A and B are shown apart, each in its own frame.
Chain A
Amino acid sequence: MKKRRHATGLLQPSAVILHPLCYIRRAMLNLHDYRLGNGLRVVLNEDHSAPLVAINIWYHVGSKNEPRGRTGFAHLFEHMLFSGSEHVGNNEHFRYVQSVGGVLNGTTFFDRTNYYETMPSNYLALALWLESDRMGFFVPALTQEKLDIQREVVKEERRQRYDNVPYGTAFERLLNLAYDEDYSYNWPTIGSMEDLGNASLDDVRDFFTTWYRPDNATLTLVGDFNPDEAKQLIEQYFGDIKPGGSFPPFTLERRPLGGERRETFASPVQLPRVYRLYHLPKMGTPEWIHADLLTTLLAGDKASRLEKALVMEKQIATDVAAYVLPTEATGMLMLQATAQEGVDIAEVEATIDAELARIASGGISSDELTRAMNRAEIEYAHQLENYDTRADLIGMMSTYFNDPKRIDHWLDAYRAATIDDLANIARKFLVPDNRVTSLFVPEAA
């Protein structure tokens, strides 16, 4: 599998949208995009093919907005937002949604936090009531006990997904290497145990007041509803929520790496694995899109460059993966490969570098480019197929690009890509000075 999940979530099966692309049948999604008086952005996409409605809110806040000493807080906060609000009791949010056949979740990443539910379409008003109550009336329901319980749940999430699994801390280690401490992509959304322990009720209130407000959110509806009725309901439930004041100043400036940063980390794993992170321009730039296509060409099936060289031909690695991350402030390309038993990980790295050099010198066939474009196209079609993933994509376009309708044109840059565009990514970005490397090796017995 090419995709990897790095977002933290309330529940385990949380999907992160990585690869928006083109859509063939519906050339245009016919979105209705408007704002309420308080600044809440609303996007409606009517579609009656199933008796369901997806309700999705993106708040433009994530782990990069966490104050110092509070890593992991944005995600802990996301858990708190499921613990009730003024008119919704503790655990009642879940009960209201699930007891009518709805499914729900929330996820947190560097730049955003999303909350969503898919409901039988006759329960649209219930979902809007729940989402608006926690957007507008969350603070009165806060208690220390709820915070303490969710803190423990999040610590268990960290243990389960990071600390108790082989290679579980690789992403965290790469971020530590790739960013200085003053750049808030330096830590993963799960945060540190110590900082989670220090989070207080005041922190929760402050974070809510600063970031959880209608003028920092996009509400997207996809599915079986009447747009006029939906607009009226949305105005009723969200219209009287007050916008916030000015946002705190926030700037990020990444200093150059000054050469490759590299570490070797001994841990309880059986096989050595190389992890690399290459810096890229941010998501949505032409370079990021070309890099996205390039990762598809590098890994994902037996004919892809690195899998063919490492796994099929030389047989020195057991698996390889490459992908770009959907990040707003700056971009990242991730690459990893596991050495076969008895193989020197240096040989794996050398083979990867030789393939990247071939690509940089223009050694890409037009068939390879076509296959990469095809794969992107089918992945995108899958994302638009279901209401929930489609709504999430719209929320992302609105939040990162201030343009929900970009969903209709997103593919253009992929289709226009040339062999030289991809070679250029290898020449310009996939070079040692622009990467950090973490080698996971087995502990000495």
Chain B
Amino acid sequence: MSIDRSIAPQPGPPRPYHFPHVERRTLANGLRVLVAENHNAPLVSMRVLVRAGADHDTKELAGLASLTADLLDEGAGDRDAIQLAEAIGLLGAALGTGADWDASYISLDVLSRNVEPAIAICADVTRRPLFPADGLERARTERLMELIQQRDEASSIAAKRFSKLIYGEGAYGNTIGGNTETVERIAADDVVAYYRAHYRPNNVSIVIGGDIEASRAIALIESAFGDWEPAEDRERPVVTPREHAESRIYLIDRPTAVQSEIRIGHIGVPRATEDYFALSVMNALLGGVFNSRINLNLRERHGYTYGARSSFVFRRQPGPFVVSAPVRNEVTRESVTEVLSELRRIRTGDVEMGELEDTKNYMIGVFPATVQSSSDVAGRLLDMELYGLPVEYFDRYRENIAAIGKEEVERVAKKYIDPDRVIIVIVGNAAQVREPLATLGLPVHELDIEGRPIA
């Protein structure tokens, strides 16, 4: 049985794919419920989405949203923190809480046979947190220790400095976890005030993916959350990006560094942009996947890095556009030059049909593999609720990608990437990279790891 190995085999006919059917319901108190069944495994994934996150944190109380979320499972209903963990463990469940920029979350993954008692515990954590004083002090100390440890993490330093430089003082300008001063300042009253303002049913969606009938899931949520009293709506703070007239380099010295952590970019666009699909295709081609221009250039052509990538970070309000790469000290300047040249090149209209088709086919083909598990499905439902996407959105995702043409890609590259007004953050060995960077012809500012200028 001999075959001709010199020719790649042709595919068979494509098999049909549909995103699971999504059942939606809004309870009388305004709480929204979305369910998508997925019976591949005896698991249920549930996510409680509270539509307020670190975007509501003030500069003085940065870290409040995430600390509030951390405290939800420090005691709730009639159980203390350890009793909660014990009860969850006995059900074969995992419960987590947290906050990001736009929202706070309670997540529950549970063996489907125990879904009912697990939802009851999840309702306690969401609706009846105790916020005990010793829990706050413990969580505060833990957070302060995390912040201390981040001082030695180059990627963390780079991310924080980049974010602060492009967002300045407004929403998204803090860090989600706050800083030492603000975390020490947060009082129990602040936590309770944040919770009361935002954790209310008309500001909450509950999404469920997995091994449960939609009607039963909705009934369980109705029974555990239906009598939660609504409250008045709040306005959301607005992002105020900084304007930069020219590109600038910010260098943060880490004398022990054997690599430079590079971040290059500027402010991007909100998730709800009408150019979402065109931007996603353009970014995938530029630096979003392994075979993208930036990674092939820095990794496979030059061997500068283990991996380089670009991303438009999509949030409710404009998230950053950022290229990131850890590279060895000796090639820091060369890496910056290569990235900038790729940012310029994508705007010149040289996108080839072959790379465009490859990129689109990747995004279309890979989609079903990204929504196999119950938690994957729940994650997509979260996106729908957080960004206001229509119910058929993910079922039509692939055809929307397919419709993007070369002109669209080039148009959004020109519109949303500006290589002449980028912030370049480099966390690395200043003694080794300072002089080479100075030859790039861009102003270089040196900062300490907290962002204070060094004379």
Measured as residues with beta carbon below 8 angstroms from the partner, the interface class of chain B is 35 or more
Please report which residues of chain A, range 237-284, place their CB below 8 angstroms from some CB of chain B when the two chains form the complex.
237, 239-240, 268-271
How far, in whole Å, are A150 and B83 apart by their CA atoms in the complex?
A: 51
Distance A270 CA – B357 CA, assembled complex (angstroms): 48
What are the residues of chain A within 8 A of B365 when measuring CB–CB?
100-102, 119-120, 123
- Is A347 in contact with chain B by the CB < 8 A criterion? no
A157 at the interface (CB under 8 A from B): yes
- A113-152 toward B: CB 8 Å interface, digit per residue (1/0)? 0000011111111101100010001000000000011111
Tally the A-B contacts, defined by beta carbons under 8 Å: 232
Q: Judging by beta carbons under 8 Å apart, are A98 and B82 in contact?
A: no
Q: Which of B86, B145, B258, B301 contacts A341 (CB 8 A)?
A: B145
- Chain A residues, CB < 8 A from B152: 166, 268-270
Binary per-residue interface labels of chain B (105-145) against chain A in the complex, 1 for a CB within 8 Å, 0 otherwise: 00001110000000000000000000000000010011011
Cβ of A54 to closest chain B Cβ, rounded Å = 9
CA A378 to CA B151, docked complex, whole Å: 35
Interface of B is mostly: mixed
Contact B8 A96 (CB under 8 A): yes
Chain B min CB distance to A404 (Å) = 20
Given the complex, which residues of B lie within 8 Å of A119, measured CB to CB? Answer: 365
| Chain B neighbourhood of A157, CB < 8 A | 306
A381-397 Cβ-contact flags toward B at 8 Å (1 or 0): 11011111000000000
Closest CB-CB distance, B86 to chain A, in whole Å? 4
A2 to B26 CA separation, bound complex (whole angstroms): 37
In chain B, positions 267-295 with a C-beta closer than 8 Å to chain A are 289-291
CA distance in complex: A99, B364 (Å): 10
Contacts of A123 in B (CB 8 A): 11, 365
Query: Which of these, B41, B86, B153, B306, contacts A156 with CB under 8 Å?
Result: B306
A378 and B92 contacting across the interface, CB-CB below 8 Å: yes
Contact yes or no, A120 B328, CB < 8 A: no
Whether B14 pairs with A120 at a CB distance below 8 angstroms is yes
Q: B361–A12 contact, CB under 8 A?
A: no
Interface stretch of the complex, out of B165-173, B181-189, B217-225, B367-375: B367-375
Interface assignment of B6: CB less than 8 Å from any CB of chain A:
yes
Find chain A residues with CB under 8 A from B82 CB: 302-303, 308, 312
* Nearest-Cβ distance from residue A12 to partner chain B, whole angstroms: 6
Contact of B11 among A94, A122, A128 (CB under 8 A): A122
Residue of A nearest to B137 (CB): A315
Chain A window 151-163, contacts with chain B (Cβ cutoff 8 Å), 1 for yes, 0 for no: 1111111011101
Q: B326 touching A160 by the CB < 8 A rule? A: yes
User: Which B residues are in CB contact (< 8 Å) with A100?
Assistant: 11, 361-362, 365
Q: Is B27 an interface residue (CB 8 A)?
A: no
Alpha-carbon separation in the docked complex, A308 to B12 (Å): 55
Which residues from chain A contact B110 at a C-beta distance below 8 Å? 378
* Per-position binary interface string of chain B over residues 80-100, scored 1 when its CB falls under 8 Å from any chain A CB and 0 otherwise: 011111101111111000000
Residue B43 at the A interface, CB < 8 A? yes
Q: Is A358 an interface residue (CB 8 A)?
A: no
Q: Find residues 11-64 in chain A having any chain B CB closer than 8 Å to their own CB.
A: 11-12, 24-25, 49-52
Residues of A within 8 A of B89 (CB): 301, 303, 371, 374-375
Q: Is A312 a contact of B81 with CB atoms below 8 Å?
A: yes
Q: CB of B148 within 8 A of chain A? A: yes
Total interface residues on A, CB under 8 Å, equals: 86
Residue from B300, B357, B364, B372 in contact with A52 in the complex, judged by beta carbons closer than 8 Å: B372
Query: What's the minimum C-beta distance from A149 to chain B, rounded to whole angstroms?
Result: 5
B151 x A270 contact (CB < 8 A): yes
User: Within B244-274, which residues are at the interface with A (CB < 8 Å)?
Assistant: 256-259
Which residues in window 300-317 of B have CB below 8 A to A?
Answer: 300-307
**A304-B13 Cα distance, complex, nearest whole Å:** 51
In the complex, chain B residues whose CB is within 8 Å of the CB of A122: 11-15
> Contacts A101-B366, A166-B152, A268-B256 given: A129-B306 contact, CB under 8 Å?
no
B307 and A318: CB pair below 8 A?
A: no
- Which residue from B6, B109, B291 sits with its C-beta under 8 Å from A95? B291
Q: Contact check: which of A98, A268, A386 meets B358 at CB < 8 Å? A: A98
Complex formed: what's the CA distance from A5 to B407 in Å? Answer: 43
Cβ–Cβ contact B148 & A153, under 8 A:
no
A199 → B minimal CB distance (Å): 14
Closest chain A residue to B292 by CB distance?
A98
The answer to whether A370 has its CB under 8 Å from any CB of chain B is yes
Q: Which residue of B lies closest to A226 (CB)?
A: B12
Does B16 sit within 8 A of A, measured CB to CB? yes
Most chain B CB atoms below 10 A, which of A49, A50, A370? A50
A111 to chain B: which residues have CB within 8 Å? none
Q: Is B390 an interface residue (CB 8 A)?
A: no
Residues of A within 8 A of B395 (CB): none
Task: Say whether B403 faces chain A, with CB atoms less than 8 Å apart.
Answer: no
B83 to chain A: closest residue by CB: A303
Q: Which of B12, B289, B307 contacts A98 (CB 8 A)?
A: B289
- Residue A346 at the chain B interface, CB threshold 8 Å: no
A78 within 8 A of B: no
B327 at the interface (CB under 8 A from A): yes
Indicate whether A237 sits within 8 Å of B43 (C-beta atoms), given known contacts A159-B326, A378-B94: no
> Does B196 sit within 8 A of A, measured CB to CB?
no
Q: Which residues of B contact A118 (CB under 8 A)?
A: 369
A287 adjacent to chain B (CB < 8 Å): no
Residues facing A in B38-92 (CB within 8 A) are: 40-43, 73, 81-86, 88-92
Q: Closest CB of chain A to B129's CB: distance in Å?
A: 15
CB contacts (< 8 Å) of A128 on chain B: these are 9
- Does A367 touch B at the CB level, under 8 Å? yes
Of B8, B41, B154, B328, which is within 8 A of A382 by CB?
B41
Q: In the bound complex, do residue B85 and residue A302 qualify as a contact, i.e. CB atoms below 8 Å apart?
A: yes
Query: A381 with B1: in contact, given A268-B256, A341-B145, A341-B148 (CB under 8 Å)?
Result: no
A50 touches B3 (CB 8 A): no
Instruction: Decide: B5 and A156 in contact? CB cutoff 8 A.
Output: no
Closest to B155 in A: A165
CA distance A398 to B307 in the complex (A): 32
CB of A152 within 8 A of CB of B303, answer yes
Interchain residue pairs A-B with the least CB separation, the first 5: A101-B365, A152-B303, A371-B89, A51-B15, A303-B85
Listed by A's residue number, 9 A-B pairs whose Cβ atoms lie within 8 Å are A52-B369, A99-B358, A101-B367, A125-B12, A148-B303, A161-B306, A301-B94, A374-B90, A375-B92
7 A-B pairs besides A126-B9, A156-B259, A367-B86 with CB distance below 8 A are A96-B8, A120-B15, A152-B303, A239-B1, A269-B152, A341-B145, A378-B110
